[in-house]
Amino acid sequence: GAVVSQHPSWVICKSGTSVKIECRSLDFQATTMFWYRQFPKQSLMLMATSNEGSKATYEQGVEKDKFLINHASLTLSTLTVTSAHPEDSSFYICSAREWGLAGATDTQYFGPGTRLTVL
Amino acid sequence: RKEVEQDPGPFNVPEGATVAFNCTYSNSASQSFFWYRQDCRKEPKLLMSVYSSGNEDGRFTAQLNRASQYISLLIRDSKLSDSATYLCVVNIGTGRRALTFGSGTRLQVQP
């Protein structure tokens, strides 16, 4: 299957700093990538849809000025958590969509996730 | 009401047992259905897609009931390595191509 990488795999930072997380599709082009967040013992929650060459679409309740998304190429999307606070500590996972054949169900591949801890 | 609902479990079963999980979804316009598996502190991994006619992959069988808006996953001959959280996942359509996740059902297979 297709491979999606994320970097870093984990990060610990001080409150008030910014953290950038990269999501790359390694062997396919992804016009759309998705960013999810998962708190302990909860389900993945979609934060935003990242579209190559255009602005991201944010889900209700997600602050676009706090979670900056850039999708400058077909293989890379970045999520920057600005002025991070302890409540932003979570598991952030990206996924990239690979188009299948016409009429087939498209498939999303997940990156390994980034565990963010804000002190 | 949550868009995708699952019994959180945990389901504790002995090796070799058969176990079934159910999931219900609220949006009747949902288009695609999946079961993902997530190990502790790891990303979700696609286990199988779910088709209207039902489908089987080895020890795993998935079924979809559109009329009742539920999805099931049956695991036969459980292995220790099947211990994980199983996520029911739905593409609710309406132009969105992201996935909506259930909170997951935890399975613990015991020796």
Q: What is the pLDDT of residues A20-58, one digit of tens each?
A: 999 999 988 888 899 999 998 888 999 999 888 888 999
Q: Report residue B43 as tokens.
A: 């990303």
Residue B1: CB atoms within 10 Å: 5
Question: Confidence class of residue B41 from pLDDT cuts 50, 70 and 90?
Answer: confident
Question: Confidence class of residue B94 from pLDDT cuts 50, 70 and 90?
Answer: low
Predicted confidence at residue A27, as pLDDT, reads 84
Predicted confidence at residue A105, as pLDDT, reads 47
Q: Report residue A37 as tokens.
A: 């967040």
Taking 90 as the threshold, does the pLDDT of residue B22 lie above it? yes
Predicted confidence at residue B1, as pLDDT, reads 72
Q: Does A100 touch chain B (CB under 8 A)?
A: no
Taking 80 as the threshold, does the pLDDT of residue A2 lie above it? no
Are A44 and B41 in contact (CB < 8 Å)? no
**Mind listing the pLDDT tens digit for each residue in B63-86?**
999 999 999 999 999 999 999 999
Q: Measure the CA–CA gap between B75 and B25, rounded to whole angstroms.
A: 21
Q: Which residues 29-68 of chain B have a CB within 8 Å of chain A?
A: 32, 41-46, 49
Q: Report residue A23 as tokens.
A: 């999501």
Are A46 and B103 in contact (CB < 8 Å)? no
Q: Measure the CA–CA gap between B37 and B66, rounded to whole angstroms.
A: 22
Taking 60 as the threshold, does the pLDDT of residue A70 lie above it? yes
